[in-house]
Amino acid sequence: MKPTDQNHGDAGIDPRQPDSGAQGPGAAHGSRQGVAGHGAAFRESGLSREEARAATDWVRKRVDRRTADLGERMEDVRDHMYELEKEGKILIHRIRDDHEPVTVKTLFGWDKKIPTRQLWHHKSCGQCGNIPGYPTSLLWFMNQFGYEPGRDYLDETDQTSCTAWNYHGSGIGNVESLAAVFLRNFHQAYVSGQRHGHDAGHFYPLVHCGTSFGNYKEIRKYLIESPQLREKVTKILDKLGRLVDGKIVLPEEVVHYSEWVHVMRQRIASELQKIDVSHIRTTAHVACHYYKMIHEDAIYDGDILGGNRTAIITSLAQALGAQVIDYSTWYDCCGFGFRHIISEREFTRSFTMNRKIRVAREEANADVMLANDTGCVTTMDKNQWIGKAHQQDFQVPIMAEVQFAALACGADPFKIVQLQWHASPCEELVEKMGISWSQAKKNFQAYLKEVEQGNIEYLYKPELAYGG
């Protein structure tokens, strides 16, 4: 790459040469390793620089109202979905009045309903495994608003991973398997209320993970547009007992947790906020899988960033009164990339350090970067340590916007927000917010001794998790 080439996404790293696969991690073992240690099935694509860029252009997109072609809008896939229901071919899990929905506008000005109550939590494997304070902060807010587990929200274990990690990370997944898993999970969301004395459709799915969110929206579109795919997966779902009156169940809207936070932001700030964060400098990183993938479905608000960029994250930070600072690589991917975070990890690390962390520190002097996806938080939080080895000691606390909001509303940094799981340094931010890190740590250590004695505080009724 020429020194003057500043195209987003290259991160200053030359692409591999066509014959460089033999020099990769598996070179010593011959052809058994394939490209970058992936295995014999993987080979160099042979794409030219221009072809490779074309294949990944969506990652570098600047999706906003100034660049999107709103003159020739694509068809709203929901219109076709409603027709399929009228024809008796599918069943739509609708957002009802008892879900207390709030209507928002998407990029194309379409209406989207965001349910705020009676929510079925579709958890994230990466959050639960790497950033547990992410989902617990969200459940904590449900409790703070007086939502009753088993009536106003449900966090059960009868859910699987969306398997999009497998699809993006290895390439061995296929549309049929992704669609079957999607339909299986959303069928469970539809029928879950019956076990607790409610009608079908009582709980509406709230998806925690941006990867699941993007995958599910893409798969829903395929299912609506392809009768062949519907026929294939209907047979699979029938064997699993996951049909309703012989029909697959599709959600009226695919809803991300950050959309719930967006529509609840004023209530969070007015009813729950306890800490003044007006002196905190925040930056936002919005997941590609939220607003670049199926971009027509992302929330845009004329009162947030002039309606030019997607509203989530920024809207919450502003509602809390924090400073929101712009930076030049706002639109860039975090560098996660799925497959290359496994086998080309140094590319991921160099990208996230050079394109995100360094810029947020040098340009914005950020106290914290707020994100809304499992992979983004994990990548930017867990890889900053590697910068020290290359004289790039640019450190910025990374967390989900719901974690930051929980801190501002008085949630315990260790019990609820669980910042002890983070690799990026959060101590200075917490102290700047007026919370004693050392005292919170002492309190948490004392609590752990209580846990050892069997005195456990539950955020959620454990019996409900098993259908009790």
- Please give the distance of CA 219 from its chain centroid, rounded to a whole number: 16
pLDDT at residue number 25 = 34
Confidence of residue 387 (pLDDT cuts 50, 70, 90): confident
pLDDT, greater one: 118 or 133: 118
Element (H, E) at 90: strand 90-93
Kindly write down the DSSP assignment for every residue of 370-410, as one continuous string: EE-SHHHHHHHHHTGGGGGGGT------EEEHHHHHHHHTT
Look at residue 151 and tell me whether its pLDDT is greater than 50: yes
pTM of the model: 0.86
Enter the tokens of residue 304: 């947030």
Domain 77-257 falls in which CATH fold?
Glutathione S-transferase Yfyf (Class Pi); Chain A, domain 2 (1.20.1050)
Quickly list DSSP for 274-320.
-S--TT-EEEEE--HHHHTTTGGGSB--TTSGGGSS--TTHHHHHHH
User: 124-133, 359-368, 372-381: which has the minimum mean pLDDT?
Assistant: 124-133
**pLDDT category, 157, cuts 50, 70, 90?**
confident
Owner of token pair 């002890």: 420
User: Class assignment of domain 275-450?
Assistant: alpha beta
Contact 91, 247 (CB under 8 A): yes
pLDDT at position 202 is: 98
Name the percent of the chain lying above pLDDT 70. Answer: 84
Confidence of residue 13 (pLDDT cuts 50, 70, 90): very low
pLDDT, tens digit, for every residue of 198-224?
999 999 999 998 888 988 999 999 999
Q: With cut-offs at 50, 70 and 90, classify the pLDDT of residue 7.
A: very low
Can you give the pLDDT at residue 293? 86
pLDDT at 19 over 70: no
Q: Minimal CA–CA distance to 40: which of 55, 24, 56, 51?
A: 24
Contact 320, 269 (CB under 8 A): yes
Which residue intervals of the chain bear CATH 3.40.50.11810? 275-450
Which regions of the chain carry the CATH code 1.20.1050? 77-257
